Structure 1
């Protein structure tokens, strides 16, 4: 099993301008108890970044 998280190279998770989800384990969103908060642009960018890394890793594993 291979785990591909959201690396610290993703600058969005280092933002101090607003509360955002995201950790080295993967992209997340802080939605609130009733789901009242939608993902921010920073959180969506983190999800795209992680998705790109997963696709690249899968391609490399497939070649080998």
Structure 2
């Protein structure tokens, strides 16, 4: 299990409703698909993917 470090500022943006927790990337979506992931949520998800890949590479070395 790889959590999210507190180094990513998008997790602390209170100007808009968005997902993202120390446990991982999330998004807040309506049941009808009317809300798509925000740029902040996508940034958090990309950061998590890179972070997990870096940890996996260190473990494999």
Calculate the TM-score normalised by the size of structure 1.
0.87
Of the candidates 47, 50, 56, which is equivalent to residue 49 of structure 1?
47
Aligned position for 1:62: 60
Q: Which runs of 4+ in 1 moved over 2 A?
A: none
d(CA) in 2 for partners of 1:8, 1:32:
27
Calculate the TM-score normalised by the size of structure 2.
0.91
Aligned-CA RMSD value? 0.9
Please give the residue correspondences for 1:21-60 in structure 2 after superposition, counting only pairs within 5 Å: 21-60=19-58
Query: Which residues of structure 1 form unaligned runs of 5+?
Result: none
